[in-house]
Every structure is written in C-alpha cells, then in structure tokens.
Amino acid sequence: MDKLRIGIIGLGTVGSGVVKTLQNIENVEIVKIAVKNISKPRSVEVPASILTDNPYELVNDSSIDVVVELIGGVEPAWSYISAAIKNGKHIVTANKELLAKKGEELFNLAEEHNRVCLYEAAIAGGIPIIMPIKTILAGNKINKIRAILNGTTNYILTKMDVDGASYEDVLKEAQALGYAETDPTGDVEGFDAAYKITTLATIAFKQRIKIENVYREGITKIRKEDMALANEFGYKIKLIANASIDDEGNADVRVHPMLVSKSTTLAYIDYVTNAVALSGHPIGDIVLSGPGAGEFPTASSVVGDILAIQAEKGTTDYMLPMMRCHHSHTAKPVKIDDTFNKYYISITAPNAIGIIAKIGTICARKNISLASILQREVSANNTADIVVITEKCQEKLIKEVVNELDDCIVNSLIRVAE
C-alpha cells in the first residue's frame, strides 16, 4: 500500500502529539514540517532534514498528499490552506476560528478542486463528533445542541464551585498550571466556544450559521456567591454553547453562562472535560463527553482524519463524499432579545419595606412570573441580598425589568437551562 505523504504546519503541543502518534503508523509518511524556529527545543524528536521555516515549501511540494494545519488563527493559515488546495492537496485542520470565519469559502474552494477538508479536532478535542454526525447520525434531524466546549472556562467554573474561590484567584491558578493563556480573552470571553458552536451547528443543522449572528457572553462576571446560590437552588453554573433550530429554519445560536440543573449530565462535566448533548429524531437525546483539548486527545482526532484520507487514497475519484460540505442555505438568525429563557437575578437592594413587593410588581407589569425568590439577612450597610428565578420570559422584557430596578444593584443576570 502506498504511503500517504503529509506535510504539517505547526509543531506546538498538538503538532508534537500528532508526530508522536504517527510514528507508530506505517502507512503515513511525514515529508515536511513547517515551524517558526527550527532550532527551538521540542518534546518530540524529528530529523532536521524535514524541518523548514517556510510553509510554502510543503504547500508547493507536489509529492505531498495532505497538508495538516495546526497553527490556528485566520492568517496566515488561510493563505497556506487555500494555496495547498489549489495545488491539489487535501486538508486536515484543528483551526476552529478559521472554520467559523471562512468555512463557506474554504469548503467551496475544496469542492471546486475536488479536495476534502477534515476538521474533527477543531470542535471538541478528542471527542468524536463531526464524523458521527455526518455518518452514523446522518439520518437524524438534529434540532438542539447544548455543549461545554472550552476546557479553560470549565476548569475555572469548577474550581470556583468546589473551592468557593473568586474568578480572579482561580484564573491566576489556571494560568500557573497552563490551563489558561497569559491573555485568556479568547477563552473566558467565550470566543473559542463561539467559533466551535458555529461550525458544530452548521454541520448538525445542515444549514450555514454565520459567526456574526452568534451571541457571545463570557464568564468574567460570575461571582463565587453565584456559584453557592446556584447550588442552593439545585444548579451548577457552566459556560454553555447552545444552539437550536425550528422547522422554519430559525436558528438560535449563542454562548453564555447558564444555570444547569443537577439532574442533567452536563452539570457533572467538570474541570477540563468537554461534552456535547444532541437532541433529534429518531435518536432522541445523547451525550458525548471526553477530553476537549491537550496533546494526545486532539492528536487522536487529527490522526483519525489523516487515516480516513489514507484509507481512500487511490480508490475513488471523489473521496469521502459524506464528509464534504453540501450546504445550500443559511439559517435565519434569532436575536438574543427575541429569545425566551428562565433567569437567575442576584440583586442588592436597600433594606426597605416593600422592596420584594416592588420587584414582584415590576415583573408582573411585564407579565413575568417568579418561580423562586430568596432574601438573605440584612448586611451591616443596611442592604439585603435578594435572588430571583423567573419563569420563562422574553429576553428584552427581563432587560426592561433590570433597568427599572433603579434603586437596586443587579449583581448577576444568568440564564437558566431548562
């Protein structure tokens, strides 16, 4: 059997894991690896002869069958990938940002040149999700996704919950352990999860989702007090990537913290573990969970894609048809203000007669019912902490309620998962 000849762009954590894994596989040959600094010490030994600091050496190498892109970001990754496709190469990538922002252009270009682009590692690390949706679950009409797709934020929220620590303290710990970047914005503000749910929803719903239509909210405003109160009400707080689509093609796709009931699986997905819950017909509800990042979990998905291409090399003129993009419609976006949710609201209010009645009156005026209300003891500064959980209501109305609580401090407004 002819070996599949590959070139790899990037030899960081994931790239090193891919090389280590491929060293035990006989039918794949690494021809060239592009890196920024050839002399940099690495955790994996590779012959100096296959290293280059010019990615175009492998992009333009006619002997290479597959380019594996592992550097992330839109540029220069897009320039390398697009050139590789035009040069007749298949693509394997773990680049969630590129897929979210240029996925349509990428897949159209691949189809134009009859190449495949596989990206199992871009969504949930080592969890197999894209290929199962496109193959085993292909006969299902999936209409809802609820997922934990970022290990950094899940680690932070879990530590806040378990240790009763503040966001700021846990972030510092996560950075020291290497779970969070020096600049954690991409994770803690929800960008990473938003990129992932954009592509995941596109695949699951069989309609294109535009990243600019995905509502995004991070975890930086979550307080340790919210974690404790959520537990009292029977919930855990998680950063949830949420997507649903109705029969008319209206897609509600968003990333934000949610109170998740302790009766559900997602409430117990802790630390750096990821999970994806899918709902559809005829499958019903399923949950896939596992390591969402790291050297070998992500390498597992990358190598799986490489071997999928290797298995079909030389057997067909149209490789892996089920894994290709065949979308012809873009879903109609649902604005966050038009969504309906239950809400957790934490309020610091003056200790005055009738304050709870005032909250109830404002909500009643908006036709919002209250499911629970809890008042803590009065503080030394003569204020009271009040927590309200509403029944389902429209987002724009709950925002109006918050604006009318002018003599109160609204500490937190968090949506509640049903």
How far is residue 14 from each of residues 21, 132, 175, 302, measured CA to CA in Å?
11, 22, 19, 9
219: alpha, beta or left, given left = phi > 0 and alpha = psi -120 to 50? alpha
Beta-ladder partners of 255: 216, 241
Alpha helices in 60-190 (DSSP H): 77-86, 96-112, 121-124, 130-134, 151-163, 167-177, 185-188
How far is residue 143 from each of residues 112, 180, 322, measured CA to CA in Å?
30, 32, 20
Beta-ladder partners of 20: none
Q: Return the ∠ at Cα 194 (arms to 138 and 72), rounded to 5°.
A: 95
Q: Return the ∠ at Cα 72 (arms to 99 and 255), rounded to 5°.
A: 55
- The CB density around residue 104, as the number of other CB atoms within 10 Å, is 15
How far is residue 304 from each of residues 28, 93, 258, 310, measured CA to CA in Å?
12, 12, 33, 10
Q: Exactly one of 196, 206, 238, 342 is catalytic; name it.
A: 196
Element (H, E) at 93: strand 90-93
Q: Return the ∠ at Cα 208 (arms to 329 and 65), rounded to 5°.
A: 110
- Per DSSP, the three-state class of 123 is helix
Backbone angles phi, psi at 29, to 5 degrees: -120, 125
Instruction: State the distance between the two ends of the chain, measured CA to CA, in whole angstroms.
Output: 52
* Known active-site residue 89: no
Please identify every residue annotated as catalytic: 196
